């Protein structure tokens, strides 16, 4: 898809002005290969799902789960990983939406409780404990969003939650003085990582 047709598509989809500014003068492939905003990639995938030449729902859900997987780097809690596993089964038609929701809710609740207990037990590690708990919750929410992405904002949240996990952990381990800088750097790095993962699963989109 050339730059003119792609811009026409973005206008039809009511893309944000910032996104259109980035895409101006670029073909779909140029944008796809250079984009470093995972939430924008997820938005585009969901808005065009199952259209001729565009990825189908199952592939998109797996791509969103790939994004959710990145949040697991910041927690040792096994329950978010289980939520993502169930979400992948859902993507293949082997699990129900309720099963995904149940797994997500269990991971979210348990992670919240564990973070509170850890922070109360040792104030020295309160920031890191809270960050790990937040990462677990974000991973679970990302997986839930990946499975229930019928609305475009759910897909956006799949990426947003995973980015949030990285930011929370960075702030929790860096300390208050360096928190803002750590959060900003973590968000940029997380977006880049997820964009690479999405492109690995969907290397090219060939539409006119």
Give the mean pLDDT of the chain.
Answer: 76
pLDDT digits (tens, 9 = 90+) for 55-70: 998 898 888 888 878 8
Q: Do the beta carbons of residue 115 and residue 129 sit within 8 Å?
A: yes
Angstrom distance (rounded) from CA 85 to CA 15: 31
Rounded (5°) CA angle 145-67-35: 115
Q: For the segment 119-169, what is each residue's pLDDT rounded down to a tens digit?
A: 444 444 445 555 666 666 666 666 666 665 543 444 455 566 666 666 666
| Burial of residue 101 (number of CB atoms within 10 Å: 0-12, 13-18, 19+) | middle
Q: Round to whole Å and give the CA distance between 109 and 142.
A: 15
Two structure tokens written together for 122: 């040792």
Q: Is 48 within 8 Å of 57 (Cβ atoms)? A: no
Say yes or no to pLDDT of 43 above 70.
yes
Average the pLDDT over each of 58-72, 74-88, 129-143, 187-201 and give the range with the smallest value.
Answer: 129-143
**pTM, rounded to two decimals:** 0.78
* Higher-pLDDT residue of 83, 27: 27
Separation of alpha carbons 150 and 170, rounded Å: 31
Under the phi-then-psi rule, with left for phi > 0, alpha for psi from -120 to 50, and beta for the rest, what region is 141?
A: alpha
pLDDT (average), residues 183-192: 81
72 to 47, 174, 204: CA distances (angstroms)? 27, 19, 27
The SS3 call for residue 44 is: helix
Q: Which has more pLDDT, 95 or 150?
A: 95
Cα separation, 80 vs 105, whole angstroms: 10
* Mean pLDDT to the nearest integer, 33-46: 90
* Residue of higher predicted confidence among 4 and 161: 4
Q: What percent of the chain has pLDDT over 90?
A: 25
Give the pLDDT of residue 125.
42
Contact between 143 and 83 under an 8 Å Cβ cutoff? The reply is: yes
Q: What percent of the chain has pLDDT over 70?
A: 63
| Nearest by Cα to 30 from 22, 42, 38, 40 | 22
DSSP 8-state code for residue 27: -
pLDDT confidence band for 94 (50 / 70 / 90): very high
Phi, psi of 92 (to 5 degrees): -95, 10
**pLDDT given at position 146:** 61
């Amino acid at each position: 898809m050339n730059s003119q047709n792609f811009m026409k598509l973005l206008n039809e989809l009511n893309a944000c002005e910032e996104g259109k500014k980035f895409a101006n003068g670029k073909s779909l492939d140029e944008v796809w290969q250079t984009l470093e905003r995972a939430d924008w990639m997820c938005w585009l995938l969901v808005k065009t799902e199952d259209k001729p030449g565009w990825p189908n729902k199952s592939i998109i859900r797996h791509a969103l789960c790939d994004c959710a997987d990145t949040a697991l780097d910041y927690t040792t809690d096994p329950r978010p990983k289980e939520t993502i596993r169930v979400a992948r089964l859902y993507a293949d038609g082997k699990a129900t939406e309720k099963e995904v929701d149940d797994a997500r809710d269990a991971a979210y609740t348990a992670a919240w409780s564990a973070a509170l207990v850890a922070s109360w037990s040792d104030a020295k590690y309160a920031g890191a404990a809270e960050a790990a708990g937040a990462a677990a919750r974000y991973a679970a929410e990302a997986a839930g969003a990946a499975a229930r992405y019928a609305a475009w904002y759910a897909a956006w949240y799949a990426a947003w939650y995973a980015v949030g996990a990285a930011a929370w952990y960075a702030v929790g381990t860096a300390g208050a003085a360096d928190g803002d800088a750590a959060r900003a750097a973590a968000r940029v790095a997380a977006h880049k990582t997820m964009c690479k993962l999405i492109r690995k699963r969907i290397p090219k989109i060939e539409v006119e």
